[in-house]
Chains A and B, each alone.
Chain A
Amino acid sequence: MRFVLALLATLLVGTALGLAATRWTASNRQGFSAEQAGPWIAWPKAGTSEAEPYARAFQARTGYVPLGGGDGVALFALSDSDGRPLEGNCAYDVGGAVPAARFWTLEAFSPRGRPVAGPLGRLGFTSAEVMHDAAGHFMVAVSPQVRPGNWLQVATPGRFVLVLRLYETVLSASAFSLEADALPAITRGACR
């Protein structure tokens, strides 16, 4: 009797753990075969027919639409260039070089992917509207309080994610290599 009960418990516990693991990864992990450079992470194959099972499960569960392989690359930053998580009560300078692309956009989201724009209503910047310096570099100030120049207001008490999307870029899903120097740096300023 004790043996049968233990067998049943084993089956139940194993099944519950397996399902819980699936639920957690499908809700939280875009995939495991990520490419990283500095603070930026990309899953270049997520929007191709070669997408890994974890990427497919994430898309099926969350409704995320990845960029198609030829369309470009989405780079996610969960932390600044020093590795500290991006916090809604801190000011950040995001700037530097951007790999060659037809267009790019920079937007801020909650960790679940909802916009965290402030009352100003701006959801992000595009390459066409951001102000550049003479060398072609740009600087976007991401902060809760007003800043001069390109200002992206973030209104969230918690953590947030920056997404840099490069459309029709020199980086491609098949020959993908990222270098931190070629991507914008994320520098933390004052925190409240």
Chain B
Amino acid sequence: MIFALPFFLGAVLIAVMVHLASLLALPGFATNDAYARLGRNAPIDQVAALTQAQIAALDLPFYDRSFETAVCKYDLSAGVLRLRAPSPDTMLLVTLIARGGNVYFSVSDRAAIKGLVEVLVGTDAQIEQIEASDKDDEVLGELRVRAPKPQGVALIRVFAPDETSKARAAEEAAQASCQIETL
């Protein structure tokens, strides 16, 4: 028994270390996170509207089906992403998800200016480059967001409070646009 004790304690210590290390590393190796699922058949740097059947097939757990959804899978290696979504009749949520699954930014239509939510997404270096060329007296019409990783997906969701508003909400979500702008 005395012989086994150090090995037992050693195994527990190793288990704790392996658990913490693998937990922190997991998002980096994720192949079935929200980015992977939403971007699986999505074109890159373009908005793609998803039907309720397509959303169901993605099998996103606890997904709120009261929304109509469009996605924009992006890659910032060629430039910054400009995302525009018009304010709908109900409520708009724009959610930015980095590769690995982390939600790093979200905004609703409350942030719209003249009926349009406009978000400029870039890496740290890209946003710094843009800010360096800003004029002091310029009024910004866009929200600038620093992405933690160059790859990600933008989720554009329009609330459909009842059955009759679903078609309209789907149209409104599909009106969003996203494009890469080279610096």
Contacts and interface: CB of A to CB of B under 8 A. Distances in A.
Interface of A: 6-7, 9-11, 13-15, 17-19, 21-22, 25-26, 46-49, 51, 53-54, 56-57, 59-71, 74, 76, 102-103, 105, 107, 109, 112-115, 123-124, 126-129, 161, 163, 165, 167-168
Contacts of B56: 115
Given A17-B11, A22-B19, A68-B106, A63 B101 contact: yes
A71 B12 contact: no
B130 interface: no
Query: When A and B form their complex, which 7 residue pairs have the shortest distance between CB atoms, in order from nearest?
Result: A68-B106, A113-B61, A18-B18, A14-B14, A128-B161, A60-B30, A17-B15
Contacts of B105: 68
A18 B155 contact: no
Interface stretch (B78-86, B90-98, B115-123, B174-182): B90-98
B62 A57 contact: no
Contact of B95 (A10, A13, A71, A103): A71
Contact of A61 (B15, B26, B66, B107): B26
Nearest to B22: A22
Contact of A70 (B59, B106, B159): B106
B152 interface: no
B33 interface: yes
A14 to B, nearest CB: 3
A69 B107 CA distance: 9
6 contacts: A10-B7, A46-B103, A56-B101, A60-B101, A65-B34, A74-B62
Interface of B: 4, 7, 10-19, 21-24, 26-27, 30, 32-34, 36-37, 56, 58-66, 90-91, 93, 95, 97, 100-108, 110, 148, 155, 159, 161-162
A57 B21 CA distance: 11
A56 B99 CA distance: 11
Contacts of B36: 63
B91 A14 contact: no
Contact of B61 (A48, A64, A71, A124): A64
A167 B15 CA distance: 40
A65 B66 contact: no
A129 B32 CA distance: 34
Contacts of A53: 23-24
Given A14-B13, A14-B15, A61-B26, A127 B161 contact: yes
Contacts of B108: 70-71, 167-168
B61 A112 contact: yes
Contact of B91 (A7, A76, A168): A168
A128 B66 CA distance: 11
Contacts of B34: 59, 63-65
A179 to B, nearest CB: 23
Contacts of A51: 102-103
Given A47-B106, A62-B61, A65-B63, A26 B23 contact: yes
A168 B107 CA distance: 10
Contacts of B62: 64, 74, 76, 109, 113, 161, 163
B65 A63 contact: no
Given A60-B30, A63-B37, A126-B162, A13 B91 contact: no
